[in-house]
Structure 1
Amino acid sequence: MPVSSFITSSGGCDWSKIDLYVSTDVHTSIAAIPPTINDRSDCLRWRNTRDGAFSIKSASFIWLIAHGKILTNSHRLHRKLTDNAMYPRCGREEETTLHALRDCDNVADLWMRFLNPQRWNAFFSLDLCEWIEWNRCVHARNDISENWQTTFGVAVWHIWKNRNLIVFENHIPNMQDLFFQILYMVKDTLWCKETIGNMKFKSSKALRMIGWKPPDREKVKCNVDGSVFESTNTAGCGGVVRDASENFIFSFGHRLGSCDIIWAELNGVLDGLELLWCKGFRSVTLECDSEEALELIKNGTADNDPCSGLVHYIRECINRCWNVDLQHVYREANRAADLMAKLSHSLPEGLQSFDAPHAELGSILSSDLSSLLLPCLCVC
């Protein structure tokens, strides 16, 4: 069977099919590998919204466009949801994604008001995936559109939103109003980005002394971390568990497949929680130095996010009948977990638990025991 048979419509793994054939360790190794998208890898390099090309909202909508997930009338006719495949704005041609968002005469006229005339031929000649990638990379703006990537993301969203008003609310199309909606939204978006950037730039920093602290009485503390070696394209995670008296309880390491750092960090959290639960601990503090991983766990993810399955498992684990406190910690206080994550690269594949500390871990445990503090430049 092809890999696509084991992938859900949202792009994640269909574990109900996979778990029939694999062990828990293999399940975890597969979960560490971000799913690939056939024939769309080139046009979806923008999908990591942290590169700033598109806003998160725009990037999410463009992801749906590239994957054929928006319900044009062409798709609705195929699904027997309508008997008319025509585009409601013009009523002359079948409503495909490109016709709805670019090629209809009315919409094309709108785009030309934002585009540099020298870019018109390229803009209107590309297929869907090439079109998305081209607009991610090329600065096609004219004097009206200040930032093309922002303009493109805002425009496709408002064109589709306006189309839905026509279909579902009998809205009378007015391209002049739509033009100004896009124009003002672009200006507001750029203003917000600039304001946030200035706030970050002006944030003050202070030097603080940071060290590992034992958990509250009756609790155990698990420090976890992820590691990625770019030279070997391998990833791993690990952690160390200690009690309120600062005694070592156990450590663990997990050699993962090829994945990015956020996957490794999330796997470290999941492994730590699962081991703590299996070993009978019911009141725990788990510390992680990845604010991004903790934010995903706290707020959850969209179904189409590559991390959604892993985050779902973590949240299910936290919701069991026990007391779990997830906390962010600076790296200077997470050195033991950092070492175990790095050591995991040399371990056999799968999750490994250790009842005695590794020799390399001894000096870090001793310095934590002596309350060694290290300087850290922290944002105030």
Structure 2
Amino acid sequence: MLAKGGWRILKDKDCLWAQVMRSKYGKQREGLEVLRPVKGGSFTWNSLNKASNLLRKGCAWNIHNGKGAKFWRDVWLLQVPLAEVALQPVTEEMLNEQVADYVDEDGRWDINRLEDWLPPEVLQKITANLVDPLSLEEDTILWTASSNGHFSTSSAYSLALPPRHDPNEKVWRTIWKLPVAERVRCFVWLMSLGRIATNALRYSRKCAESPMCLRCGNDEETILHLLRDCYPARFFWLRWIPQAEQQSFFSSSREDWVRDNILKEDVTESGMSWNSFFGTAVWCIWKNRCTGCFQGLQKALSAPSLAFSIQQKAILWHKAWQAPTVNFGRQGSRPERIETQIHWSSPCNGWVKLNVDGASAGNPGLAGAGGIIRDEHGKWIRGFVAKVGEASATLAELWAVYYGLHLSRKAGSSCVLVESDSQLAIALIKSRHDPVHPYAALLASIRRFLAQDWLVSIGHMYREGNRAADWLSKHSIVYPLGMHELVDPPPALAPILMEDCMGISFQRRVVTHPSSSL
């Protein structure tokens, strides 16, 4: 929460209290340097500074025009400043150089200048970032612990926690995915944590007069005694556990007993998974115990009756879980998948179609982009391939749109229909501008292309109708870094271009949202 206050001081320009704190304690400083201890600072300011290390851990510069962040000294590409991964010591003069000092007027990186200073893998990360030195939008600070660049207390809390490995993580995931009622999952989860309100637990907390089991009176009512060792439970388990496994089943500790049965992959005769049957059984044993505890032992089921009841209830619940889901809402409200034919289609007269695609080996990994411009007859006009560097698949898709629009503008096209098979990339382009989004600079450049004096329409096309661009994006990896214009189509691409012109279609199952009738 202190980090949230510090974030508001850094980012909230309109908040009055943040303006007062910045002007009083953080004047003549920029970026994260604003949050520095000040001699004679107030209790509030000193408290906020306690979270400055957490903020520095999660904050980084989001590059727009490159004139705010220092190339070597600030964190903007990696989790550490680039000076720490340089191949040779960085001079004091270089530490003050801005990101914009390493690109030309068109935003192209000076790779030749950087090759002697940075490893190849870092250079590939650099080339995947767009810098527009002519942009009026300044560099800004983003929060790297979240996907959208905005600060959240939950992400800050996760970042503040030390890394740890929970050996029971697989058990937790399995419990919450059991095909049983939610109350059964909750009970199994509490049982695995040892938090069932047995008499032994209640007595240790001075909430019961005796820790003994009410059913047998021979032992303390612990979780294992109640759900495994007491006569009604033992009577049931002896009829279901194979004789060869009974010794380990009845001698293991609570933690091992729960883990072994929850992770067991066997299936019962009724077709129910063993862990679901196990969860149902322990819950029924507990409910029968509660009946005897609060309504009298004469109301509780006997051992044979309890075993029969567990078996019948498990079968009934299993059948109910396997039954198809009934939709009581409006008809057609649930999406369906239907078989349809997908093919590339030519644009209208006077228009050209730009198909683009991006590919990333590893997501993030070595990424490339490709695109093709064709007229209303399917004739090749221009194409391109681009080796982006190390980037995510979504970033590669955005680079493909950017390079494709740049090439279309260069070719003199006035009416362009853009098709991409990435719905996420299209949604990001059409969404509202967010300066702290990790892809904000590239998105802003794409939107500036769209705002120019021409007609551009961007839409989604499935991969079956975008095969030419997909082929180009996957083959871009063999090219040097940067965008490479293709005047003629590669010979290996000719069969795909021919099939597109012939209108050959491919079958695909697509999601549809049928209109509902009132």
SS at match of 2:459: strand
Q: CA RMSD in A?
A: 3.9
**Is 1:307 aligned to residue 439 of structure 2?**
yes
Corresponding residue to 2:99 among 7, 10, 18? 18
Shift of 1:255: 0.2
Amino acid at match of 1:130: A
How many angstroms apart in 2 are the aligned matches of 1:246 and 1:290? 22
**Is 1:278 aligned to residue 410 of structure 2?**
yes
Q: Are the equivalent residues in 1 in contact too, given 2:127–2:389 (CA < 8 A)?
A: no
**Is 1:326 aligned to residue 422 of structure 2?**
no
Q: Are the equivalent residues in 1 in contact too, given 2:102–2:109 (CA < 8 A)?
A: no
Q: Are the equivalent residues in 2 in contact too, given 1:10–1:303 (CA < 8 A)?
A: no
How many angstroms apart in 1 are the aligned matches of 2:481 and 2:407? 17
Q: Are the equivalent residues in 1 in contact too, given 2:342–2:506 (CA < 8 A)?
A: yes
**Who is 2:313 aligned against?**
none
Q: Are the equivalent residues in 1 in contact too, given 2:377–2:501 (CA < 8 A)?
A: no
Shift of 1:251: 0.9
SS at match of 2:390: coil
How many angstroms apart in 2 are the aligned matches of 1:63 and 1:263? 27
Corresponding residue to 1:130 among 151, 160, 164? 160
SS at match of 2:109: helix
**Is 1:32 aligned to residue 122 of structure 2?**
no
Q: How does 1:1-380 map to 2 (within 5 A)?
A: 11-16=62-67, 17-23=98-104, 24-26=107-109, 30=126, 32-33=128-129, 44=145, 47-48=146-147, 60-62=150-152, 66=156, 129-131=159-161, 202-230=334-362, 233-380=365-512
SS at match of 2:102: coil
Amino acid at match of 1:129: L
Q: Are the equivalent residues in 1 in contact too, given 2:130–2:442 (CA < 8 A)?
A: no
Amino acid at match of 1:12: I
Shift of 1:9: 6.8
Amino acid at match of 2:441: G
Shift of 1:360: 1.4
Q: Are the equivalent residues in 2 in contact too, given 1:219–1:244 (CA < 8 A)?
A: yes
Distance 1:132 1:207, change over 3 A: farther
Q: Are the equivalent residues in 1 in contact too, given 2:364–2:390 (CA < 8 A)?
A: no
Q: Are the equivalent residues in 2 in contact too, given 1:25–1:351 (CA < 8 A)?
A: no
Shift of 1:279: 1.9
1:95-146 deviation digits (Å, cap 9, x = unpaired): xxxxxxxxxxxxxxxxxxxxxxxxxxxxxxxx88324988xx998xxx9xx9
Runs of at least 5 residues in structure 2 that lack an aligned partner in the other structure = 1-31, 34-58, 68-97, 112-123, 132-140, 173-182, 187-326, 513-518
Distance 1:240 1:280, change over 3 A: same
Distance 1:294 1:129, change over 3 A: same
SS at match of 2:152: helix
Distance 1:128 1:289, change over 3 A: closer
Amino acid at match of 1:32: A
TM-score of the pair, normalised by structure 2: 0.42
Shift of 1:237: 0.3
1:210-245 deviation digits (Å, cap 9, x = unpaired): 100011101111100000112993100000110011
Shift of 1:282: 1.3
Shift of 1:22: 2.1
Shift of 1:281: 1.1
Amino acid at match of 2:147: N
How many angstroms apart in 1 are the aligned matches of 2:426 and 2:353? 16
Shift of 1:261: 0.4
Distance 1:128 1:344, change over 3 A: closer
How many angstroms apart in 1 are the aligned matches of 2:65 and 2:154? 19
1:339-378 deviation digits (Å, cap 9, x = unpaired): 0001110011110001110011100000001110100111
SS at match of 2:400: helix
Shift of 1:254: 0.3
Distance 1:10 1:212, change over 3 A: same
How many angstroms apart in 2 are the aligned matches of 1:65 and 1:230? 24
Distance 1:232 1:48, change over 3 A: closer
1:75-95 deviation digits (Å, cap 9, x = unpaired): xxxxxxxxxxxxxxxxxxxxx
**Who is 2:218 aligned against?**
none
Higher radius of gyration, 1 or 2: 2
1:228-284 deviation digits (Å, cap 9, x = unpaired): 112993100000110011111111000011110000000000000011112211111
Amino acid at match of 1:15: G
Distance 1:353 1:304, change over 3 A: same
SS at match of 1:314: helix
Amino acid at match of 2:337: K
Amino acid at match of 2:152: I
Q: Which has the higher contact order (CA 8 A, sep 6+)?
A: 1
Shift of 1:20: 3.7
